[in-house]
Structure 1
Amino acid sequence: MLMTLDVGNTNITVGVFDHDDLKATFRMTTKTPRTSDELGMVLWTMLSTRLIDSSLIHDVVISSVVPKIMHSLENAVIKYFHCTPLIIGPGVKTGISVNSENPKEVGADRIVNVAAAYHLYHQACLVIDFGTATTYDYISAKGVFEYTVISPGIEIAAQALWSMTAKLPEIEIIKPERVLSKNTVSGMQSGLVYGYIGQVEYLVRRIKEELNQPQLKVIATGGLGRILVNETDCIDEYDPDLAFKGMKIIYDKNQKGNRE
């Protein structure tokens, strides 16, 4: 089995593949500092709750945007799973190329997303990842990662709203039935959710106009995308497992004998 670890600023999401079948997914908070033993035991415990024998994990792939956790996480994999993880970064074959002023600035999380989108759909795509930040990444029909837009995620916007205003409470991020509201909580929810939908629709429209690609395929991913994806027709597909699929694709491309 192959274990994929997507290390984000808020959560570490984990996917386990049995050949091409994604058998289980789970997530844990990205806490720093954590020891390698803490990380190893958490992974072992979570695998056991999914009835997965940790001894069957033969390889591990890591995509990370949190450098501080990597020393402990890499050692946890070596100590508890007895393999050296493939860490996605420079020198790793991805099946795409990056046309950027500074390719090293492009996070591994975005590389795995666009690599998956290009491999799965074989066409130009815009990938929207609703994470801690929301990223809009364009990959061309030739497999070139060319453009990006980055905005604060909806959770960051929510935290800013209640942490920087004295009388506004911390709220659950859910969509109210109507835009107009007669109370503070649903008014905040309306502004956050409907306002964010407006941002997404405007940016997608402008991106399509600037690229002159009105039929550009738009794929969304990220846990917070569930709140928004059914509220707009500018998103063609929602795939919460896109990063796992991208890591599996990159893992396959880096196996001995694979010269793609």
Structure 2
Amino acid sequence: MFLAIDIGNTDSTIGYFRDRLLRDTIRIQSRTSTIDEIGTMIVGFLEKQHGLKTEILGVGISSVVPDLTKLYCSMVKKYLRAEPKILDHNLIVDFRVLYDDAAQLGTDRLANVIAARKLYGYPVLVIDLGTATKYEIIDNNGDYLGGLIAPGIWTGAQALFEKGARLFPVKLEEPEKLIGTNTIGALQSGIFHGFLGQLVYLKERIGRELGYPNLKVVGTGGYVELFKDYPGLFNDVDPGLTLKGIEIALNR
């Protein structure tokens, strides 16, 4: 049994693998938990929901929050009695990372690249819809070219709510009509369709720039469910892509 841990800015996601297949996940708020709270939740997840003892054969961690990396490592040692492996760009040996400074590349992005190459082939574009929206491009040789980072849909919406004196938070969903006839409808339409426009435009622009008119696109991340059914946007939707990349890289 292998446990993959993806520590993000908003949430941390833990994936349980058996026979190299992702069986289940649990999500924990990143910045509101102690070692004991996290350990208790994970042990409960494994034992109560799956009837498993905490006999972990391996644990892999990807983290974009350095101060939480140590906390999770301590939790793994205390509660799971395992020595965690940390995903790092230096582990990549089977393809080139063409980033100016690979050390600056977030390991969640790296995990997405690793998983997409292996599971979906290349060339491929990965779009990860989370706190930030990240676009990762893998060319027809399987090398990682780089990507784009934009505000996530909720991150951008929150900034709008905070800066607009007469605006207020609304539910993130596709409204019934494009043109809003009240403030709620106008906000929902602008947020949803504005973000969708970004996705559609950048998908087309990246494919055109690279000369890949039929570039395969894989969607992942916490907000991918909002857009997964939009015609022609994604070839595949894989919410567990980052966890799968951690497992592929570190379960050796």
The TM-score range, normalised by the shorter chain, is over 0.9
Matched, 1:58 2:57: yes
Task: Tell me if structure 2 keeps the 8 A contact 1:201–1:232.
Answer: no
* Aligned alpha-carbon RMSD (Å): 1.5
Q: Which letter maps to 1:169?
A: F
1:3-23: per-residue Cα shift (whole Å, max 9, x none)? 110111010011101112322
2:121 & 2:163 partners in 1: Cα distance? 44
Task: Tell me if structure 1 keeps the 8 A contact 2:89–2:107.
Answer: no
Q: Which residue of 1 aligns with 2:124?
A: 125
Give secondary structure in 1 for the equivalent of 2:99: coil
Task: Tell me if structure 2 keeps the 8 A contact 1:54–1:81.
Answer: no
Q: Which letter maps to 1:163?
A: E
Q: Which letter maps to 2:20?
A: D
Alpha-carbon distance, 1:27 to partner: 0.4
Alpha-carbon distance, 1:197 to partner: 0.5
Q: Which residue of 1 aligns with 2:10?
A: 10
Q: Which letter maps to 2:85?
A: L
Give secondary structure in 2 for the equivalent of 1:156: helix
Q: Which residue of 2 aligns with 1:236?
A: 235
* CA shift in 2, pair 1:52/1:93, >3 Å: farther
What 5-or-longer segments of structure 1 have no aligned partner?
256-260
Alpha-carbon distance, 1:167 to partner: 1.2
Q: Map 1:1-260; keep pairs closer than 5 Å.
A: 1-31=1-31, 34-93=33-92, 95-252=94-251, 255=252
Task: Tell me if structure 1 keeps the 8 A contact 2:89–2:110.
Answer: no
Task: Tell me if structure 1 keeps the 8 A contact 2:125–2:218.
Answer: yes
Alpha-carbon distance, 1:26 to partner: 1.4
Identity within the alignment, %: 36
Task: Tell me if structure 2 keeps the 8 A contact 1:2–1:16.
Answer: yes
Q: TM-score if structure 2 supplies the norm length?
A: 0.95
Alpha-carbon distance, 1:92 to partner: 2.2
Task: Tell me if structure 2 keeps the 8 A contact 1:219–1:237.
Answer: yes
Aligned residues: 252
Q: Which letter maps to 2:168?
A: P
Q: Which letter maps to 1:30?
A: S
Give secondary structure in 1 for the equivalent of 2:228: helix
2:62 & 2:191 partners in 1: Cα distance? 29
Give secondary structure in 2 for the equivalent of 1:100: coil
1:45 & 1:175 partners in 2: Cα distance? 36
Give secondary structure in 2 for the equivalent of 1:173: coil
2:59 & 2:182 partners in 1: Cα distance? 49
1:26 & 1:95 partners in 2: Cα distance? 30
Task: Tell me if structure 1 keeps the 8 A contact 2:122–2:139.
Answer: yes
Q: Which moved further from structure 2: 58-67 or 86-95? A: 86-95
Task: Tell me if structure 1 keeps the 8 A contact 2:123–2:140.
Answer: yes
Give secondary structure in 2 for the equivalent of 1:55: coil
1:131-157: per-residue Cα shift (whole Å, max 9, x none)? 100011101222211121111000101
Q: Which letter maps to 1:143?
A: G
1:113-148: per-residue Cα shift (whole Å, max 9, x none)? 011110112221100000100011101222211121
1:193 & 1:49 partners in 2: Cα distance? 38
What 5-or-longer segments of structure 2 have no aligned partner?
none
1:19-65: per-residue Cα shift (whole Å, max 9, x none)? 12322111010016x44323222222233342242423221111110
